[in-house]
Structure 1
Amino acid sequence: MKISGNLISKIFIVSFFFFFLSACQEKQQPPTEIVLSGKTMGTTYNIKVFPGQNSLSQAQLHDEVEQALKAVNQSMSTYIPDSEINQFNALPANTVMPISEDFRTVIEESIRLGQSTETLDVTMGPLIDLWGFGPDKRPTKRPSQLALDDMRSRIGIDKLALTDAGLAKTIPGLELSFSATAKGYGIDKVATVIESHDIHDYMVEIGGELRVSGKKPDGNWRIAIEKPDAPVGQRQIHRVIEPGKNGIATSGDYRIFYEMDGETFTHLIDPMNGRPVKHELVSVTVLHPSAMVADGLATALTVMGTERAKAYAQQHQLPVYLMYKSAEGIKTYASDEFKPYLN
């Protein structure tokens, strides 16, 4: 059969069209998994996202995540000279500073948690420094009672004035540190970015704190709780939980401590007496829809000690898992609200 040049041309055009369409479809095929990692807040972040049929690219999500974390850092990092928090810390007393939406969210929740728990105080950074756990060189001897009394008179969330116009301090020299809430807020901020694209299967981790949602292709998210009594230099799994759609934060006194005069001091300070805590509670894991709230509560409950932490969890119906020392070794407590998440 003789084929005309016109027909050959049409066949070529049709073939090219299908090749072009196939190539476009291949390029537009959404990724099955997006994995991101980087540095933020003096630590690292790791993110896993399963976008489903969403065409969001890894490059676009990475850029949006970086911008969100950069904004949180610029607002709340004490290591950035011109950050929002450093501007407030340098402010004279009784001067109102307008604050960003991010800053307001974190200070409002920090004040609420401080008032509720009485063991979380975002103004006690200088007190922590006094004991040697801040950015300054740690002391070679414990602070005197006089130094502690003087420091306690110059800290406290009751010395903050938050209004619609902004934030002020009622005494000179008051400083803020969001070390117990900013990291969790950064996680929540990233989760908001992801969910703005109508994506609900993800995991966001910053410095060991997490927030998960939905599922992985092979099933539910499963998160390990670490053994607090593992050998030095080793990390071992104690229990595995399936946290559902929640933020997960763990706090404990088993990693940051030093010894002085035969006595062990943890990095956790009780704002009520100005001293490092001394009790048997070594690890607290909290679940909450907000990673920021979970982060703050984990710290606050650890400062409380076992019995106070149990009572607070029961009063507020919180999903809480505690590990504490006993003569028989490490014992555990799971609140009724936490038990459904145990694997």
Structure 2
Amino acid sequence: MTSVGKFIQHNIKAALVLLLLFLSGCSPAPQEFLRLSGMTMGTTYHITVRNPAGEWTEQSLKEALDKRLAAFNQIASTYISNSELSQLNTMPAGEWRQLTPMLFDILVMAVEVSWLSNGAFDVTVGPLVDLWGFGPEKHEGKPSEEALNKALEEVGFDRIELDMADHKIKKGAPLRIDLSAIAKGYGVDAVALWLESLGSTDYLVEIGGEMRVAGLSPRGDQWRIGVESPDLEVDKTTPILLGNIGVATSGDYRNYFEENGVRYSHTIDPRTGRPITHNLASVTVLDPSCAFADAMATAFSVLGGDKTIELAEQLDIPVYLIEKTESGFSSRYSSSFAPYLEQEK
């Protein structure tokens, strides 16, 4: 058996805008490509996919896709009262519960990221996010030390046990698990694998800013995105060329409150229970698994620039950072990210 993890989303995609440059200002996709869009997981999705064997219409593929997304929400959503995750959260501590393979798989990946990041990623951090006023019930003001210590008692990925042989889970405390910081990435992966099972080798799947690409774009070349600077006064976009890979972003520079001249970020460090204080504005992570990239982007947002680069180099993870400085914003990236940067000609 092993222990498992925690974290809540609340990451602002505006902090680092992923521009689908192949769509912006371009002519319609060739007829062999289909474009789908809709709503899921409280956000939007956009898909561009080469029609596998020409067997699908946009309507028929969208109908099949929406059914799969609805089924995924029924497993991992905290907003559906009878979802599998919601039922897990109402389960008493100390009892074992059988999980579906998909939910178990998500939790296994969550705990992996929790351990890799030394607890910077934690799917049980919800009580702390709520305490600081960044949860569903918004409020401002620094909590008392007593309230902070009480909330910390309700948080801890190391108090969840997973039985790897039987796909079972046991909570060592009445923890509330929220998968928002990994579910969209996992959903992207699930859709991508489904498209591949239909025979498609060229696609872009995007849900709420997280995405995964494969093969060639409608233009017949590599998929291309742009990382836009958070500085609204500077029109700067860094182009990135992608192969078969997932992309996730996390950022913090707009969602915060101030009290007595102190800025309190919406990003909470699960280890301390307090908002982060570093100057990392946004981070982009690349990985074949969009779910892993999604979770690591949240972890890196907690760790800050220096520790992110250190861990990314250690694990060979491609990351691109934008940091707030006294004169504006600056960027840096890990060595494994360099090959993805489109060189100016």
Query: What TM-score do the two structures reach when normalised by structure 2?
Result: 0.86
**CA shift at 1:59, angstroms?**
3.0
Aligned partner of 2:108 in structure 1 is 108
Aligned partner of 1:49 in structure 2 is 49
Maintained 8 Å contact 1:96/1:165: no
Aligned partner of 2:169 in structure 1 is 167
**CA shift at 1:180, angstroms?**
0.7
**CA shift at 1:184, angstroms?**
0.5
Q: What is the rounded CA distance, in whole Å, between the counterparts of 1:166 and 1:187 in structure 2?
A: 25
Q: What is the rounded CA distance, in whole Å, between the counterparts of 1:165 and 1:113 in structure 2?
A: 19
**Structure 1 vs Structure 2: percent identity of aligned residues?**
42
Aligned partner of 1:35 in structure 2 is 35
Q: Secondary structure, in 3 states, of the residue corresponding to 1:242?
A: strand
Greater RCO (CA < 8 Å, at least 6 residues apart): 2
**Structural mapping, 1:152-301, within 5 Å:** 152-163=152-163, 164-171=166-173, 173-218=174-219, 219-231=221-233, 237-301=236-300
**CA shift at 1:283, angstroms?**
1.0
Aligned partner of 2:130 in structure 1 is 129
Q: What is the rounded CA distance, in whole Å, between the counterparts of 2:302 and 2:197 in structure 1?
A: 36
**CA shift at 1:333, angstroms?**
1.0
Q: What is the rounded CA distance, in whole Å, between the counterparts of 2:150 and 2:169 in structure 1?
A: 24
**CA shift at 1:236, angstroms?**
5.3
Higher-Rg member (1/2) = 1
Q: What is the rounded CA distance, in whole Å, between the counterparts of 1:236 and 1:209 in structure 2?
A: 23
Aligned partner of 1:75 in structure 2 is 75
| Structure 2 counterpart of 1:177, one-letter code | D
**CA shift at 1:77, angstroms?**
1.0
**CA shift at 1:293, angstroms?**
0.6
Q: What is the rounded CA distance, in whole Å, between the counterparts of 2:225 and 2:158 in structure 1?
A: 37
Query: What TM-score do the two structures reach when normalised by structure 1?
Result: 0.86
When the two chains are superposed, the root-mean-square deviation of aligned CA atoms in Å is: 1.7
**CA shift at 1:237, angstroms?**
4.8
Maintained 8 Å contact 1:243/1:287: no
C-alpha distance after superposition, 1:176-213 (max 9, x if no partner): 00011001011111101110111111111111111111
Unaligned runs of 5+ residues in structure 2 are: 1-29
Q: What is the rounded CA distance, in whole Å, between the counterparts of 2:71 and 2:123 in structure 1?
A: 20
Q: What is the rounded CA distance, in whole Å, between the counterparts of 1:258 and 1:97 in structure 2?
A: 39
**CA shift at 1:61, angstroms?**
1.9
**CA shift at 1:258, angstroms?**
2.3
Q: What is the rounded CA distance, in whole Å, between the counterparts of 1:158 and 1:247 in structure 2?
A: 28
Would the alpha carbon gap of residues 200 and 309 (structure 1) be closer, same or farther in structure 2, given more than 3 Å must change?
A: same
C-alpha distance after superposition, 1:279-329 (max 9, x if no partner): 111110000011111100111001101110010000001111111123343
Q: Secondary structure, in 3 states, of the residue corresponding to 2:46?
A: strand
**CA shift at 1:238, angstroms?**
2.4
Runs of 4+ in 1 over 6 A off after TM superposition: none
Q: Secondary structure, in 3 states, of the residue corresponding to 2:336?
A: coil
Maintained 8 Å contact 2:32/2:54: no
In the alignment of these two chains, the number of paired residues is 309
C-alpha distance after superposition, 1:93-139 (max 9, x if no partner): 1111211111011100001100110200001111111111111232x
Would the alpha carbon gap of residues 36 and 312 (structure 1) be closer, same or farther in structure 2, given more than 3 Å must change?
A: same
Q: What is the rounded CA distance, in whole Å, between the counterparts of 1:42 and 1:88 in structure 2?
A: 21
Q: Tell me whether 114-123 or 256-265 shows the greater mean CA deviation.
A: 256-265
Q: What is the rounded CA distance, in whole Å, between the counterparts of 1:183 and 1:237 in structure 2?
A: 27
Unaligned runs of 5+ residues in structure 1 are: 1-29
| Structure 2 counterpart of 1:215, one-letter code | L
Are positions 1:329 and 2:328 aligned together? yes
Maintained 8 Å contact 1:306/1:324: yes
| Structure 1 counterpart of 2:213, one-letter code | V
Q: What is the rounded CA distance, in whole Å, between the counterparts of 1:238 and 1:121 in structure 2?
A: 31
**CA shift at 1:52, angstroms?**
5.8
C-alpha distance after superposition, 1:231-267 (max 9, x if no partner): 5xxx955211012111111111023222233222221
Would the alpha carbon gap of residues 52 and 82 (structure 1) be closer, same or farther in structure 2, given more than 3 Å must change?
A: closer
